[in-house]
Amino acid sequence: MAAHTFNVTGIVLKRYNVGELDRAITILTKEEGKSVYIAKGVRRIGSSSAGNLEPGSLVTAHCIKTKSIPLITQTKLHLQALESTNSLSQVRRVQQLLEIFDCLFVPEELDDTMFAHITALYSAVIQKQTALSELRSKIVDLVRLLGYDISSEEGASLSEQLATIFERPLRSFEYLLVK
């Protein structure tokens, strides 16, 4: 049986360790939606792909389809979200956005308008020049585009409304709160 290879470009949402040297990486792509991949050997000290697969990175991954979870063999980094960030509030924004993406999307193909909204919101957070109120309105627009009912009133807390939709509180908010 020949191995089927394919490339995916997307945003790394989260990662967790599997075994001694491997990591399971969740990537949000246009072609497959939110999918999990295994990156073999990236926890080694000399691994060249380890830095590319950090949460918040925009990467192109060359993958091999297996019977269960696809394997990532090579990666190309396009944009690192937290590369030059020394601000805790910026780290919090990126982590919250990644958690929102992780909770909202499922493994299915995304249409062009949906992926355009995702990339516009991602780049707005990365560029650090967008006002917080504008970011909130973009998140509300994305949630509405997915079919959820959410209000955009000034008094309504966006994190509480998202926690209601996700049926659990946002976890990134707890430890990254700037007081």
Give the start-to-end residue ranges of the domains of the chain.
Answer: 4-79, 88-175
Long-range contacts of 62-66 (CB under 8 A, 24+ apart): 62/5, 62/6, 62/7, 63/5, 63/6, 63/7, 63/8, 63/37, 64/3, 64/4, 64/5, 65/3, 65/4, 65/5, 65/6, 66/3
Distance of CA 23 to the CA centre of its chain: 16
Which pLDDT belongs to residue 1?
46
Q: Report which DSSP code applies to 153.
A: -
Alpha-carbon span 122 to 130, nearest angstrom: 11
CA atoms of 13 and 95, how far apart (whole Å) = 9
Which residues have a Cβ under 8 Å from the Cβ of 170 and sit 6 or more positions away? 96, 99, 100, 159, 162, 163
Tell me the pLDDT band of 87, cut-offs 50, 70 and 90.
confident
pTM of the model: 0.84
- Give residue 26's pLDDT: 94
| Mean of per-residue pLDDT scores for the chain | 83
CA distances from residue 26 to 14, 39, 95, 154, 171 in whole angstroms, order as listed: 5, 10, 14, 33, 17
Contact 24, 38 (CB under 8 A): yes
Strand partners, 15: 25
The architecture of the domain spanning 4-79 is: Beta Barrel (2.40)
Comparing CA positions, the residue from 16, 101, 131, 7 lying closest to residue 63 is 7
What backbone torsions phi and psi does residue 72 show, to the nearest 5 degrees? -90, 125
Q: Are 75 and 61 in contact (CB under 8 A)?
A: yes
Give pLDDT tens digits for 39-85.
Answer: 888 777 777 777 788 888 899 999 999 898 999 999 998 888 777 66
